[in-house]
Amino acid sequence: MNVVVCVKQIPDPADPGQMDPETRTLKRDVKLILDESDSYGVEMGLQLVDAAGEGEVVLVSMVPNNEVSGLRTALAMGAGSAVLVSDEALAGSDALSTAKVLAAAIRRCEADLIITATESSDGYTGTVPVQIAELLDLPSATFAKSIEIDGDVAKVQRQTEDGYDEIECSLPCVVSVTAGVVEPRYPSFKGIMAAKNKPVDELDLAALGIDPATVGWAGARQEIVDIAEAPAGEAGEIIHDEGDAHERILAFLDDLKIL
Amino acid sequence: MPQLQTTYPRPPSSFLSDDHDDFRRTVASFVEREIRPNADAWEQDGQCSRELYAKAGAAGFLGLRYDPELGGSGLDFMATCVLAEELAKGDSIGTAVALMAQSEFALAILADEASDELKAAWMAPAIAGELIGAIGVSEPDAGSDVAAITTRARRDGGDYVISGQKTFISNGTRADFITLAVRTGEAGPRGISLVVFPTDTPGFEVGRRLDKLGARASDTGELFFDECRIPATNLVGEEGHGLRYILSHFGGERLVIAAFAVGIMERLIELGLDYAGSREVFGGPILGLQTWRHRFAEMATRLEATRLLAHHAARLLSDHEPPGDMAVSMAKLHAADAVQFVAAEVLQLHGGFGQMEESPIPRYYRDVAGFSIGAGTSEIMRELIARALI
Ligand SMILES: Cc1cc2nc3c(=O)[nH]c(=O)nc-3n(C[C@H](O)[C@H](O)[C@H](O)COP(=O)(O)OP(=O)(O)OC[C@H]3O[C@@H](n4cnc5c(N)ncnc54)[C@H](O)[C@@H]3O)c2cc1C
Ligand SMILES: Cc1cc2nc3c(=O)[nH]c(=O)nc-3n(C[C@H](O)[C@H](O)[C@H](O)COP(=O)(O)OP(=O)(O)OC[C@H]3O[C@@H](n4cnc5c(N)ncnc54)[C@H](O)[C@@H]3O)c2cc1C
């Protein structure tokens, strides 16, 4: 069972750096780390490979520079190898370009299953997973809270507002998993050391046969036209209980149309 | 607790590699996910959850220095330092003590001296976090003076029969086994041996869980032994060599305390800088006052001196260099002073708020009081340094 997990390497949310006023995107010249959203997919992939008793988790990641530290984290968790697509021409890629590049890289792996997160923590368009599926002409399931492999079928529980749907996809397929549904293992010191010797296949656009004019700033069909500061959180209302607090809380919730 | 605005600008350490930095991130996220959210509850309960040992075991924390055959990672004391520094930042020193009393105190002697059978039976499951271990040396009438212990182990055929009492034992109230110091021979230093004591042995009883000033999430127990029969094969190393084993393994415990102090000082300085930056007095932030800017400079200097001394000691201990023992005594002595100084300064900085239990500051203040006592008092550290020197 070979599971490809797409992992995005992003600026550390605890220390995200600056927005670039010209391109209106996040500057990515800082150290990039594993997007926490993807740690759930890595964990799920590892559990599926364990359950199958054979195969490995292969990571696929795309970055404009040749950052590997996020990949090392996922390799330290137990993934077997990684494919890194790295090319300066990738800077400014929109979601579709990203999906094209990832799809081209995934094609080179013999994947039984492709896992992504539902959305990344920095771009969060949530569009890449289904785009990959479309480009590879594979079935896709989204918002998975669990994946079980039964023969050549993936049984997926898809999170819904009220509960979950049970769906089945023939393999190979693309499944996006929801954050928080498994407990990602911690990369141990042994894992960290072992990760250094695991293969990371670095590819550029030429190696994938992708024309640089179709990706990056050059090929982007999506443009960020404006960015604005998030409005500061407003001070909450403090209700002092004078015997009627419960009524005022109900009225407050009623106003918000929560009740 | 809101996210801190300040991250302590830790200088790169020439003693550590990139792998240590990555491992530090692992431990920091473990603290963030597993410890800090539970800290208040565990402090209240007087112990952390048993499940935490399994999680720490799975993350490889409990066997960093031990044989990979037993599930360890085969590393050295530098890794121990990083683990202890980060675990200490979870706002519950007791939890950090509970984990490391197992990994560095209870297991260290077994790693070097126990038989392969004992290692397989006790160390391997403890490294995996399936069993909890304790180190049982101190008694009501024997603390600093380890050679004064009286808990007796009488040889009877293929068994030892143990009677006596221990106190102040970390993890004592729920340990599955104790690396236990007993008297097998004459009075004095040469009559002491170590055994692995399974706590399901008939005649063993846990007395009170002791109610203490700080480190409250670490359970500290009184233990009673009444004619407890264990197989003689549970002897660690050779009979009569116990005191030597104990004294030669105190280094790890002392290093852990020094590294805890480093982590706590980082956390306290972060908390302090955050508070001083936002709290306004007489029309400006406290951080604008030179009095306090200089006090932060002093705190950071003592922190860095402690870190260097601790890492230096860790390097020497790892390389089995004899001056390691003196260096680690110095590191622990200095660490206890420094962390108590910083805790008092940051408490003072917080004014009235620093007295409030809703802030983590009073807890740290109490937690560090014991740093000049446990694992050898500051007076004993000075005595050891003097002996090495003079
Ligand atoms: C609002 C907005 C802001 C943006 N900000 C920036 C910016 O600051 N700087 C910049 O350079 N670009 C920026 N972009 C471009 C953006 O990073 C790309 O569109 C991105 O590569 C894919 O979109 P996403 O992150 O929204 O993917 P999503 O569809 O949210 O991602 C879902 C999942 O797909 C996988 N995945 C996505 N991207 C990758 C990848 N590169 N490698 C491996 N797996 C991946 C992951 O599993 C991810 O969790 C922005 C785009 C938008 C629309
Ligand atoms: C929270 C906590 C956890 C502990 N966990 C464990 C554990 O897991 N296992 C274990 O075995 N023990 C444990 N201990 C016991 C600890 O090791 C002892 O408390 C410590 O060694 C001091 O011994 P004592 O309390 O008997 O003090 P004493 O030895 O009675 O010392 C009293 C005072 O006399 C001073 N003094 C003693 N000798 C000298 C000297 N030669 N010169 C100058 N001054 C001297 C001491 O410095 C101290 O100030 C723990 C203690 C605490 C507080």
Q: Could you report the per-residue pLDDT of A32-81, keeping only the tens digit for each?
A: 899 999 999 999 999 999 999 999 999 999 998 888 999 999 999 999 99
pLDDT digits (tens, 9 = 90+) for B70-96: 999 999 999 999 999 999 999 999 999
The answer as to whether B12 is a domain residue is no
The answer as to whether B376 is a domain residue is yes
The answer as to whether B326 is a domain residue is yes
Ligand 1 atom closest to A120 (CA) = 49
Q: Which chain B residues are within 8 Å of A196, Cβ to Cβ?
A: 19
pLDDT value at B140 more than 80: yes
Same domain for B138 and B121, yes or no, is no
pLDDT digits (tens, 9 = 90+) for A113-142: 999 999 999 888 999 999 999 999 999 999
Left (φ > 0), alpha (ψ -120 to 50) or beta: where does A229 sit? beta
Same domain for B36 and B102, yes or no, is yes
What pLDDT, on the 0 to 100 scale, is given for residue B1? Answer: 54
Interface of B with A in 55-94 (CB under 8 A): 58-60, 64, 68, 73, 75, 79
Same domain for B118 and B25, yes or no, is yes
Give the Cα separation of B215 and A130 in Å (integer): 51
The answer as to whether B63 is a domain residue is yes
In this prediction, residues A199-214 reach a mean pLDDT of: 95
pLDDT digits (tens, 9 = 90+) for B39-66: 999 999 999 999 999 999 999 999 999 9
The answer as to whether B253 is a domain residue is yes
pTM of the entire structure? 0.90
Model confidence at A259, pLDDT cuts 50, 70, 90, reads: confident
Q: What is the CATH number of the domain that holds B71?
A: 1.10.540.10
Distance B378 CA to ligand 2 centre (A): 10
Ligand at shortest distance from the CA of B209:
2
- Which one of B132, B156, B179 terminates a domain? B132
The answer as to whether B7 is a domain residue is no
Can you give B21-55 as a three-state secondary structure string?
A: HHHHHHHHHHHHHHHHHHHHHHHHHCCCCCHHHHH
Catalytically active residues of B are 253
pLDDT value at A12 more than 60: yes
Same domain for B307 and B379, yes or no, is yes
Using CB atoms within 10 Å of the CB of residue B115, give its burial: 0 to 12 exposed, 13 to 18 middle, 19+ buried.
Answer: middle
Place of tokens 């030892």: B160
Q: What angle do CA B331, B337, B343 make, to 5 degrees?
A: 125
The answer as to whether B87 is a domain residue is yes
Same domain for B382 and B253, yes or no, is yes
- Residues with beta carbon inside 6 Å of ligand 2? B 101, 134-138, 143-144, 168-170, 212, 215, 220, 370, 373-374, 376-377, 379-380, 383
Model confidence at B367, pLDDT cuts 50, 70, 90, reads: very high
Q: Choose between A16 and A203: higher pLDDT.
A: A203
Same domain for B207 and B144, yes or no, is yes
What pLDDT, on the 0 to 100 scale, is given for residue B384? Answer: 96
> Helices B242-278 and B290-318 meet at what angle, rounded to 10?
150
Same domain for B254 and B382, yes or no, is yes
Count of domains in chain B?
A: 3
Distance B325 CA to ligand 2 centre (A): 18
Q: Whose CA is nearest to atom 45 of ligand 2?
A: B379
Closest CA to B165 of B187, B155, B180: B180
Same domain for B323 and B209, yes or no, is no
Structural domain range at position B332 = 243-389
Same domain for B151 and B87, yes or no, is no
Partners of A175 in the beta sheet?
Answer: A115, A141
Q: Which residues contact A31 (CB under 8 A, 6 or more apart)?
A: A11, A12, A67, A69
CB neighbour burial string for B32-46, b if at least 16 within 10 angstroms, e if fewer: eebbbebbbebbeeb
pLDDT value at B203 more than 70: yes
Secondary structure element (H or E) that encloses residue A198, with its range? none
- Which one of B240, B260, B293 terminates a domain? B240
Model confidence at A236, pLDDT cuts 50, 70, 90, reads: confident
Partners of A216 in the beta sheet?
Answer: none
The ipTM is 0.89
Same domain for B177 and B189, yes or no, is yes
Q: Which residues contact A201 (CB under 8 A, 6 or more apart)?
A: A81, A82, A83, A84
Using a CB–CB cutoff of 8 Å, tell me whether B26 touches chain A. Answer: yes
What pLDDT, on the 0 to 100 scale, is given for residue B2? Answer: 57
pLDDT digits (tens, 9 = 90+) for B265-318: 999 999 999 999 999 999 999 999 999 999 999 999 999 999 999 999 999 999
pLDDT value at B354 more than 90: yes
- Which one of B70, B102, B132 terminates a domain? B132
Domains (ranges, CATH) in chain A?
A: 3-232 (3.40.50.620)
Ligand at shortest distance from the CA of A84:
1
